[in-house]
Amino acid sequence: MIPLVAVAHGSRDPRSAASIHSLLAVVRSLRPELDVRGCFLDLCAPRLTDVLHGPSVVVPLLLGKAYHARVDVPAAVAESRVPAVVTPVLGPDPRLESAALRRLSEAGVDFDDRSLGVVLAGAGSSHAPANEAVAAVARRWARQSAWAGVEAAFASIASPSVPEAVARLRARGARRIAVASWFLAPGLLPDKVSAAAGDALVAAPLGNDVEVAQLVLDRYDEALARQTVAA
């Protein structure tokens, strides 16, 4: 069976790698017969080139198609010189939204609170379509929820910032604020979001949510199906 090689960005924060390994433990529990290998693009080991030893399906553990997905992952696969197929990133997908909403619920958010404003906080990118994908989720939540409003915000590069999004929500009448996480794992940028959120409720990153784990497997299965058709 062709291995599933899951590659995350990587962080100096040990919580990040621990969260990725926890997610992959759920992936393995869903498909025990599958060889699932975890690795990172940078800052911690093992690297992608350390675990690519033959035909593989590489699943980027990235929520959006920004620089790492468009440049870093393909470059690392090319460097390995093995016949590996790279799948699309995890997002967009409704299961990511479900996971983010579950994390909000775990943080104590009342989904029927009409005075609540929700900030959906992501990393931010110089690649505008990656930011727009997060904003599209926020607009969808705004249409579908009873909340006073939902705003996308970004930890770096893009705008609005978390404080700017909070100010917009308060101007629209929100009396309480919650921050939803559009991050897979803890680290520098999620910590920056938490620090900027003030007294708001802040949800945890998506982490080892079972729907995220299933999404990783679906990306793998879809890649295998495409290869079979192509063959």
**Which residue from 152, 134, 126 is spatially nearest to 68, judged by alpha carbons?**
126
**Which residue from 207, 208, 196, 199 is spatially nearest to 174, judged by alpha carbons?**
199
**Which residue from 50, 44, 49 is spatially nearest to 73, judged by alpha carbons?**
49
**CATH architecture of the domain with range 94-202:** 3-Layer(aba) Sandwich (3.40)
Q: Which residues pair with 177 in a beta bridge?
A: 117
Instruction: Report domain extents, the chain.
Output: 4-90+208-230, 94-202
Residue pair 166/106 in contact (Cβ under 8 Å)? The answer is no
Q: Which residues pair with 60 in a beta bridge?
A: 7
- 0.85 surpassed by pTM: yes
What pLDDT digit, counting tens, does each position of 144-185 carry? 999 999 999 999 999 999 999 999 999 999 999 999 999 999
What confidence category does residue 229 fall into, taking pLDDT thresholds of 50, 70 and 90?
very low
One-character DSSP codes across 43-86: SSSSBHHHH--SSEEEEE--SS-SHIIIIIHHHHHHHHTS-EEE
Residue pair 84/145 in contact (Cβ under 8 Å)? The answer is no
Identical topology for domains 4-90+208-230 and 94-202: yes
Compute the distance between CA of residue 92 and CA of residue 133 in angstroms, rounded to an integer. Answer: 7
Mean local confidence (pLDDT), 119-131 = 95
Angle formed at CA 66 by CA 162 and CA 150, multiple of 5 degrees: 30
Residue pair 204/103 in contact (Cβ under 8 Å)? The answer is yes
| pLDDT of the residue at 228 | 58
Compute the distance between CA of residue 76 and CA of residue 99 in angstroms, rounded to an integer. Answer: 29
- For the domain with range 4-90+208-230, which CATH number is right: 3.20.20.70, 3.30.390.10, 3.40.50.800, 3.40.50.1400? 3.40.50.1400
Mean local confidence (pLDDT), 173-200 = 97
